[in-house]
A and B are shown apart, each in its own frame.
Chain A
């Protein structure tokens, strides 16, 4: 590992990340198509901050998570974690993998039912450190205490826990190696309202305490509004609008962001917005529409949208990829 002072760099700096998957076609000699799961995402994430990635299923959120956690490597683009190049050198990667941990969506599927909580928590230590058994146990108990699990639960199996507690175990597992970054892939969407509140509180407390950076993937905009600092809205593999949470929530400019915000149901009448009807569904990423990928569902579509793909540019304190962004500023939405 090169000697770099990691504190002065943003914990994640991603530039134009792309991930294409080959999809074989019917027919013997036909060339495989490439599915553009992620098609150019750039962002920086600083220590102790939260970046929320929002979008419908199939927009590339989870692919982004897999790239950041180095489960897969990008087809193109640069990824620096704590100032170190995370693409390429195997040795660097191994060290960086400790810095990035992940919490999965479904706490029923992400814990091995045959292992006790203690074993689950100690596994990352076994692989990455040379602590002895009692040190590992001590560390596991310490983290369990942090996430609000009691000592007696060390020897229990996952099936003995409720959904909320399982998610706590998953969070504890992610924290075992003192990471800088936790990628949370829809961590609360499988939970009930009251348990969701507890889990969100836990995540926010841990962030303050350990100065963690979160990459928070979610489709629930009310949760995102609560927990994030910056947000990135994605559509069909591309970020369409990204910037500070307050800027975007107060005045979304991209028609897709507007539609997402308007489609989110609200309990309080005053926070409800007029529904913007999005017709149709997400187009296939194998065969995206020409021009702006959103134009077929967009209410503000103009001729240029059909031919020319828009690029991310800065408009009104945010990055946005829409030809009509300037016009939409004055739109009384």
Chain B
């Protein structure tokens, strides 16, 4: 299996605030990886850094940022643009705001085609119609001239997906593709994305805050907290035997697991911000298993048997391993 994407020790800093802090991530060709975390955990920023979309005060540092044999850190801006949007593309959150309200659906989809693949206008139009029917929009010929405000949320998300797969990317990044949608539409969109992934053999990175969506769709899960990867595990194991206390606490807080109780277990405290980043393990003030060592020593991210975890005392069957 060839590695399509390799990120090693990626950090993104905004004015001294580390939004992403030492993230490692690798995606194999044709694989599906899920990233979960609460808001502010750096899941989107990691992917934006990969796409080269970090705005001005942001500084990107990485030991390695490789996409399919090309080093994204060393490439010229022009070269890089020829990769992003073509080989790597992204579906953004909130379809209603990500589409440009001033242009028709056809214009917006064919824009990417024009830049990356050229061709005549007729060819592009044909391809747009083909794409729209691939993402399940009925009567695509009639939809070419519609503007985003004429579409429902589910339909706009389908247009976003059509745009993202226009140039047959090898890696598709879906950033909270279903958060703004209703459950039944969410199911349709997820099914569509997974279906396209299978058909085109794309690699897919699915970013979401919804544990259940991850559980039902992906093979490998990466859990992020305060800009760091705290656990990487297969989705079979992570939901039954989480290794990091944060993952465990998050899963316990789900209403689904507490149907008949009168109280939900919660995680005390808040995600650390710019000024209250604790020493040692970033999660220790909120961790119920924390020991003295957690307060003082920063835990290293270590990988063993394809399970990665950033914790001094990783859990085995829910019990922390104090040596």
> Which A residues are within 8 Å of any B CB, using their own CB?
56-57, 162-164, 192-198, 200-201, 204-205, 219-223, 225-227, 259-260, 263-269, 271-272, 275, 277-278, 281
- Would you give 23 A-B contacts (Cβ < 8 Å), ordered by A? A56-B184, A192-B38, A192-B209, A194-B38, A197-B253, A197-B265, A201-B263, A201-B266, A205-B263, A226-B259, A264-B212, A265-B187, A265-B190, A265-B212, A266-B212, A267-B251, A267-B256, A267-B257, A268-B239, A269-B215, A277-B187, A278-B184, A281-B152
Partner of B183, one of A162, A163, A263: A263
Confirm or deny: B254 has a beta carbon within 8 angstroms of a beta carbon on chain A.
Answer: yes
CB-based contact B187/A268 at 8 Å: no
CB distance from B271 to the nearest CB of A (A): 8
Confirm or deny: B26 has a beta carbon within 8 angstroms of a beta carbon on chain A.
Answer: no
CB-based contact A259/B253 at 8 Å: no
Chain A residue at smallest Cβ distance from B180: A57
CB-based contact A271/B184 at 8 Å: no
**A177–B213 Cα gap in the complex (Å)?**
40
Chain A residue at smallest Cβ distance from B182: A56
Interface size on B, residues (CB 8 A): 40
* Residues in B whose Cβ lies below 8 Å from that of A201: 263-264, 266
CB-based contact A225/B255 at 8 Å: yes
CB distance from B189 to the nearest CB of A (A): 11
CB-based contact B255/A194 at 8 Å: no
**A210–B184 Cα gap in the complex (Å)?**
36
Partner of A267, one of B39, B153, B212, B270: B212
**A222–B260 Cα gap in the complex (Å)?**
11
A272 in contact with B256 given A56-B182, A57-B182, A200-B264 (CB within 8 Å): no
A266 in contact with B263 given A56-B184, A192-B38 (CB within 8 Å): no
Q: Nearest 8 pairs between A and B by C-beta?
A: A265-B212, A197-B253, A197-B264, A192-B38, A263-B187, A56-B182, A226-B255, A194-B267
Confirm or deny: B6 has a beta carbon within 8 angstroms of a beta carbon on chain A.
Answer: no
Confirm or deny: B186 has a beta carbon within 8 angstroms of a beta carbon on chain A.
Answer: yes
CB-based contact B216/A265 at 8 Å: yes
Chain B residue at smallest Cβ distance from A263: B187
* Residues in B whose Cβ lies below 8 Å from that of A277: 187-188, 191
A268 in contact with B256 given A193-B211, A201-B264 (CB within 8 Å): yes
CB-based contact A281/B154 at 8 Å: yes
* Residues in A whose Cβ lies below 8 Å from that of B267: 194, 197
Chain B residue at smallest Cβ distance from A205: B263
* Residues in A whose Cβ lies below 8 Å from that of B215: 265-269
> Which B residues are within 8 Å of any A CB, using their own CB?
38-39, 152-155, 182-188, 190-191, 209-213, 215-216, 239, 249-251, 253-259, 262-267, 270
CB distance from B69 to the nearest CB of A (A): 36
Give the dominant DSSP class at B's interface. Answer: helix
Interface centre among B188, B213, B266, B270 (most CB of A within 10 A): B266
CB distance from A208 to the nearest CB of B (A): 8
CB-based contact B256/A271 at 8 Å: yes
Chain A residue at smallest Cβ distance from B40: A192
CB-based contact B183/A264 at 8 Å: yes
* Residues in A whose Cβ lies below 8 Å from that of B263: 201, 204-205
* Residues in B whose Cβ lies below 8 Å from that of A164: 270
**A321–B155 Cα gap in the complex (Å)?**
29
**A205–B155 Cα gap in the complex (Å)?**
40
CB-based contact A194/B249 at 8 Å: yes
**A166–B229 Cα gap in the complex (Å)?**
28
CB-based contact B183/A56 at 8 Å: yes
* Residues in B whose Cβ lies below 8 Å from that of A266: 212, 215-216, 256
Chain A residue at smallest Cβ distance from B253: A197
Partner of B255, one of A162, A222, A265: A222
CB distance from B256 to the nearest CB of A (A): 4
CB distance from A274 to the nearest CB of B (A): 12
Chain A residue at smallest Cβ distance from B190: A265
CB-based contact A259/B184 at 8 Å: yes
Chain B residue at smallest Cβ distance from A226: B255
